[in-house]
Amino acid sequence: MKYRRLTLEELKPLENEFIDFLVVNGVVADDWKHLLTYDIEKSNKILDAFSEVVFEDIMRKTQFLEFRSIGEFVTFSCTSDLIYMAGIRIDNREKKRIDFNDDHSIKQLLSQPSKNVKVFMDEKKYKDNREKEIFDMIERGCLISDGKLFKAIAMTGID
């Protein structure tokens, strides 16, 4: 599998889409119930295929990611060829005062920078496949974002 199987929690809100997926693939409700009882391997393959479709669609649509940790906030713009990174790093004395889970704190920090704040930027090519790399970043803790903070940080980093 390129991605992973959706969890039950992730599948629940996609129930209608899954039913449509089953129908398109020639599996009606009674057939699905039979597979769940008597052919777990085939039902798992169908779940895997649906999961691949869902994740592929999400990854293709993803344009921005962010990662928040103590003392560092990193945002990513995921273009077709490159990942651009824009981030903020705080030294040890300032870490306690900045809550990177609060967007207002980040915007305030950008508008009133201190000598203990470093804005950094970088870019890189995808190692292999764009969608797989984005998926791996999400699995490691990145969140999909709207890109507003990426743009704000990137504008701050321009000399």
- pLDDT, one tens digit per residue, over 92-132 is 665 556 677 777 777 777 677 677 788 899 999 999 899 99
* Boundaries of every domain in the chain: 8-61, 64-156
pLDDT value of position 113: 67
Mean pLDDT of 82-101: 77
Mean pLDDT of the chain: 89
Instruction: Let me know: does 116 contact 91? Beta carbons within 8 Å.
Output: yes
Give residue 90's pLDDT band: very low, low, confident or very high (50, 70, 90): confident
C-alpha dihedral (78, 83, 84, 86), degrees to nearest 10: 80
Give residue 78's pLDDT band: very low, low, confident or very high (50, 70, 90): very high
Rounded (10°) angle between helices 15-24 and 29-38: 90
Whole-model pTM: value is 0.83
pLDDT digits (tens, 9 = 90+) for 55-73: 999 999 999 999 998 778 9
